[in-house]
Amino acid sequence: MLVPAIKILKPARARGYAVPAFNINNLEFLKAVVEAATKLRSPIIVQTSEGAIEYAGMDYLIAMVKVAAKAPIPIALHVDHGKNLDTIKLAIKSGYTSVMFDGSALSYKENVSKTKQVVKWAHAKKISVEAEIGAIAGIEDFVSVEEKDAHLTNPKQAAEFAKQTGCDSLAIAIGTAHGAYKFKGQTHLDIERLKQIAKLVKLPIVLHGASGVAEDVVKLAEYHGAKIGKARGVLDEDIKKAIKYGVSKINIDTDLRLAFTAGVREAMDEMEEVIDPRKLLKPAYLLMRETAQNKILLFKSEGKA
Ligand SMILES: [Zn+2]
């Protein structure tokens, strides 16, 4: 069934597990993650970025997820990194059960005022709001400690922000990064900072940019020439610690993209004569489903639905 995200995030924070939030782009992604979650009885969040909405169309995405939500597990449909207020407003009106407003690039004051506006719209329809404080890296690495400190979430400011905005969950920056960029080097989470934030912020805490990549996907991707190198993004050990200290929603985008791409490349290599798209997409689907299952087990959300 389709539920507001906070309904599945609150118990996660209280009981010490994390709900996986999978970014989907099409039917294959959606079916893969919902099937994995149904098999393992895990609540999940299905989320679409503004890019995915532009690609697939909001109405198509909502219609697909409504069908998927017939599965016997709670599912929330969430806008990931909403920056455009019109898109957020439309999502709230059209059937999403959760939205993120990402004002992390704005000034603190502007982030507060726009987040408050989104909270007002969303709460009127019992829809959850994820907000963000502190910027999550991407493309370029931090160059110095000072710069690192400037980008990572300040615990006191996070508490203040949560109180002022009335958001339901809070995305923080503790050293993760978006995209496959992180595979260039090992990502280490600032667990001490997380502990301080979790002490002051009692809301479910959200971790972005935490892909780690399963071994089999790495092997396949490397076999097909993707340069992932030795590093594996965020270590499973760090993820476990983060969950222990209050992270209750973990976004999974890059891992699914890598699984999809590895599966498609394998199919194209091994089925040169095949022109049946269903056969060509099957390995990608299976790899994504396996990736989703591994995340559910790592996040300990198995059996919580
Ligand atoms: Zn993100």
144 pLDDT above the threshold of 90: no
Return the pLDDT at 218.
66
The type of residue at 124 is A
Chain mean pLDDT for the chain? 90
In a domain, 305, yes or no: no
The pTM of the full predicted model, rounded to 2 decimals, is 0.91
In sign, the C-alpha dihedral spanning 261, 289, 184, 103 is positive
In a domain, 101, yes or no: yes
Q: Which of 37-51, 78-92, 228-242 has the lowest mean pLDDT?
A: 228-242
Question: Between 297 and 222, whose confidence is greater?
Answer: 297
Assign 141 a pLDDT band (cuts: 50, 70, 90).
Answer: very low
Classified as helix, coil or strand, 2 is strand
Classified as helix, coil or strand, 126 is coil
Distance CA 6, CA 87 (A): 21
Distance CA 47, CA 23 (A): 5
In sign, the C-alpha dihedral spanning 178, 184, 190, 191 is positive
d(CA 170, ligand 1 centre) in Å: 12
184 pLDDT above the threshold of 60: no
Q: What is the rounded average pLDDT of the residues 1-20?
A: 98
4 pLDDT above the threshold of 50: yes
Return the pLDDT at 157.
94
d(CA 137, ligand 1 centre) in Å: 9
In a domain, 238, yes or no: yes
d(CA 278, ligand 1 centre) in Å: 30
Do β-strands 137-138 and 128-133 pair in parallel, antiparallel, or remain unpaired? unpaired
H or E segment to which residue 199 belongs: helix 191-200
In a domain, 304, yes or no: no
Q: What is the rounded average pLDDT of the residues 213-241?
A: 68
Of 59, 80, 216, 276, catalytic: 80
Q: Which of 76, 87, 90 is nearest to 21 (CA)?
A: 76
Return the pLDDT at 7.
98
d(CA 188, ligand 1 centre) in Å: 17
The burial class, CB within 10 Å (0-12 / 13-18 / 19+), for 275 is exposed
Joined tokens for residue 12 = 């996660």
Which residues neighbour ligand 1 (ion) by CB within 5 Å?
208
Query: What secondary structure letter does DSSP report for 85?
Result: H
Distance CA 177, CA 167 (A): 23
Distance CA 184, CA 290 (A): 24
Neighbours of 59 (CB within 10 A): 12
Active site residue 168: no
Q: Which of 85-89, 100-104, 149-153, 166-170 has the lowest mean pLDDT?
A: 149-153
Assign 178 a pLDDT band (cuts: 50, 70, 90).
Answer: confident
Half-sphere exposure of 15 (CA within 13 A, CB side): 15
d(CA 110, ligand 1 centre) in Å: 20
Return the pLDDT at 46.
98
Q: How far is CA 170 from the centre of its chain?
A: 12
Distance CA 163, CA 183 (A): 35
Domain tally for the chain?
1
Distance CA 8, CA 104 (A): 24
Q: What is the maximal distance between C-alpha atoms in the chain?
A: 60
Return the pLDDT at 245.
96
220 pLDDT above the threshold of 70: no
b/e string for 103-123 if b means 16 or more Cβ within 10 A?
bbeeeeeebbebbbebbebbb
Assign 231 a pLDDT band (cuts: 50, 70, 90).
Answer: very low
What is the residue range of 65's domain? 5-299
Assign 143 a pLDDT band (cuts: 50, 70, 90).
Answer: very low
d(CA 126, ligand 1 centre) in Å: 23
d(CA 151, ligand 1 centre) in Å: 14
Q: Which CATH number belongs to the domain containing residue 226 in this structure?
A: 3.20.20.70
CA angle in degrees (0–180, nearest 5) for 197-101-205: 25
d(CA 178, ligand 1 centre) in Å: 6
Q: Which of 67-71, 163-167, 193-197, 217-221 has the lowest mean pLDDT?
A: 217-221
230 pLDDT above the threshold of 90: no
Return the pLDDT at 209.
84
Q: What is the rounded average pLDDT of the residues 158-182?
A: 87
Question: Between 56 and 105, whose confidence is greater?
Answer: 56
As beta bridge partners, residue 131 has 101, 170
